[in-house]
Amino acid sequence: MPYDIHDRSLAERGQQRIDWAARHMPVLRQITEEFAAEKPFEGRRIAASLHITTETAVLVGALQAGGAEVALCASNPLSTHDDVCAALVERGIAVYAHHGEDLASYQRHMEQALAIQPQLVMDDGADLIAILHSRPEEYEVLAGIEETTSGVMRARAMAEQQVLRFPVVAVNDTPTKRYFDNRYGTGQNTIDGILRATNVLLAGATFVVAGYGWCGRGIAMRARGMGARVIVSEINATRALEAIMDGFQVLPMHEAAPLGEIFVTATGMAGVIRREHFLLMQDGAILANSGHFDVEVDTAGLRDLATGSAQLRQHMTEYELPNGRKVYLLGQGRLIGQAAAEASPAALMDLSFADQALSTRYLFEAYQRLTPGVYDVPSEIDERVAVLKLRALGVQLDTLTQEQLAYQHAWQVGTAN
């Protein structure tokens, strides 16, 4: 089996850490057992571009248990854990990834993963899907799965322009992904990443969050929970109103820029914090991104603008601006919870990866009836994942009585009767 990783000798430590993650992924463990018994992927080839973390290893394990042949490359050059790569290779997965690889290697590794001639691609940012569509003649892919807001946006754009060639399930949009991983996961790992990168005090800091989608509200909620004073910027009126009534101040970025001490972007959009904003900021301002791509803070613009720079801590670069002030970019503007921390905790990845695993089975069963387009995760899958998770947590729901079931359909009963 071909592969390209940093150091195979890290396999044992990688496996130990994968086991720790697996402890917190009871839903995926149960699905792995099902797959092992039923072998739904016998003879199937899957190429996956994912953050190569301990949790991803558990997902890949489930696919493998179900009979799939899997090739894996990274979805972000900085989020690869070399020890996890080693453990996966040890278990027979063709991994192509090095932590911190340059863009050339990153791109080459994608090509190598696609060399498996996959029937299904599992994507995290739609980079694989984009390659497949740039050279469609080379591949015969039946279906794809996409995990992020940014990637779904790309797939939707492809569908609108009628160039998308196969059905893509948008795991990102399912409640068990969006409400949980985006909100609670990104909320926590953004705080975690900022603390690891800087060790600054959050209590009392003025903390600007760009975007009040599920990620943004998770970040805002947790920043407040750590004692920060949070300012939100938005382009959507309803979300802005929600932010206000959640007790946050809402300002456009050019008004927030001079006030903030810490800035985090979570928008799915490019150039959210850019040259005109950098120049308004206080000396010492800290810049981080929690969106999928490294374009939300205009890092290229920042480098252009800067009169000097220094790597002060592992994940923090100081940029001196023409006005003499210094700003501090974290994790090179890549998503901070991946770059400086360890991404979403296993307990949350359990949900979205369970969606991924079950959607993979669904797509192999259903691809023939699905025209090219972006599809939601079937709601039965989503509900099943939530129910399995609650059961694993030992939490009990109420159930409707016969009378209550009847009441649901009884429109005749109201105040006046």
**Window 121 to 160, contacts with a copy of itself (CB under 8 A):** 125-127, 130-131, 134, 153-155, 157-158, 160
| Span near a copy of itself by CB under 8 A; candidates 3-11, 93-101, 112-120, 224-232 | 224-232
> Restricting to residues 325-384, which ones interact with a copy of itself according to CB under 8 A?
341-342, 344-348, 382-383
Counting contacts by CB under 8 A, is residue 234 touching a copy of itself?
yes
| Span near a copy of itself by CB under 8 A; candidates 4-12, 249-257, 299-307, 363-371 | 249-257
Binding residues for NAD(+): 213-218, 234, 290-292
In the bound state with a copy of itself, the residue whose beta carbon lies nearer, of 25 and 68, is 25
Number of residues that bind a copy of itself (CB under 8 A): 120
Residue 230: which of 54, 218, 53, 144 has the closest Cα? 218
| Span near a copy of itself by CB under 8 A; candidates 1-9, 64-72, 229-237, 355-363 | 229-237
Counting contacts by CB under 8 A, is residue 184 touching a copy of itself?
yes
Chain centroid to Cα 77, Å, comes to: 14
In the bound state with a copy of itself, the residue whose beta carbon lies nearer, of 1 and 237, is 237
Counting contacts by CB under 8 A, is residue 390 touching a copy of itself?
yes
Check if the beta carbon of residue 28 is closer than 8 Å to that of residue 388.
no
Tokens of 269: 């959009």
Counting contacts by CB under 8 A, is residue 315 touching a copy of itself?
no
Binding residues for substrate: 53, 124, 147, 177, 181
In the bound state with a copy of itself, the residue whose beta carbon lies nearer, of 92 and 227, is 227
Counting contacts by CB under 8 A, is residue 20 touching a copy of itself?
yes
In the bound state with a copy of itself, the residue whose beta carbon lies nearer, of 66 and 268, is 268
Counting contacts by CB under 8 A, is residue 404 touching a copy of itself?
yes
- As beta bridge partners, residue 273 has 297
Counting contacts by CB under 8 A, is residue 59 touching a copy of itself?
no
Tokens of 11: 């396999």
> Cβ 39 to a copy of itself, closest distance in Å?
28
> Cβ 386 to a copy of itself, closest distance in Å?
4
3-state secondary structure the chain: CCCEECCHHHHHHHHHHHHHHHHCCHHHHHHHHHHHHHCCCCCCEEEEEECCCHHHHHHHHHHHHCCCEEEEEECCCCCCCHHHHHHHHHCCCEEEECCCCCHHHHHHHHHHHHCCCCCEEEECCCHHHHHHHHCHHHCCCCEEEECCHHHHHHHHHHHHCCCCCCEEEEHHHCHHHHHHHHHHHHHHHHHHHHHHHHCCCCCCCEEEEECCCHHHHHHHHHHHHCCCEEEEECCCHHHHHHHHHCCCEECCHHHHCCCCCEEEECCCCCCCECHHHHCCCCCCEEEEECCCCCCCECHHHHHHHCCEEEEEECCEEEEECCCCCEEEEEHHHCEHHHHCCCCCCHHHHHHHHHHHHHHHHHHHHHHHHCCCEEEECCHHHHHHHHHHHHHHHCCCCCCCCHHHHHHCCCCCCCCCC
> Cβ 188 to a copy of itself, closest distance in Å?
6
Taking CB under 8 A as the criterion, the residue among 77, 167, 216, 333 binding a copy of itself is: 77
In the bound state with a copy of itself, the residue whose beta carbon lies nearer, of 69 and 192, is 192
| Span near a copy of itself by CB under 8 A; candidates 3-11, 19-27, 299-307, 356-364 | 19-27
Counting contacts by CB under 8 A, is residue 392 touching a copy of itself?
no
> Cβ 242 to a copy of itself, closest distance in Å?
6
Counting contacts by CB under 8 A, is residue 408 touching a copy of itself?
yes
> Restricting to residues 269-288, which ones interact with a copy of itself according to CB under 8 A?
269-272, 284
Binding residues: 53, 124, 147, 177, 181, 213-218, 234, 290-292
Counting contacts by CB under 8 A, is residue 413 touching a copy of itself?
yes
C-alpha 240/C-alpha 403 separation (Å) is 41
Tokens of 329: 């970019």
> Cβ 225 to a copy of itself, closest distance in Å?
2
Counting contacts by CB under 8 A, is residue 106 touching a copy of itself?
yes
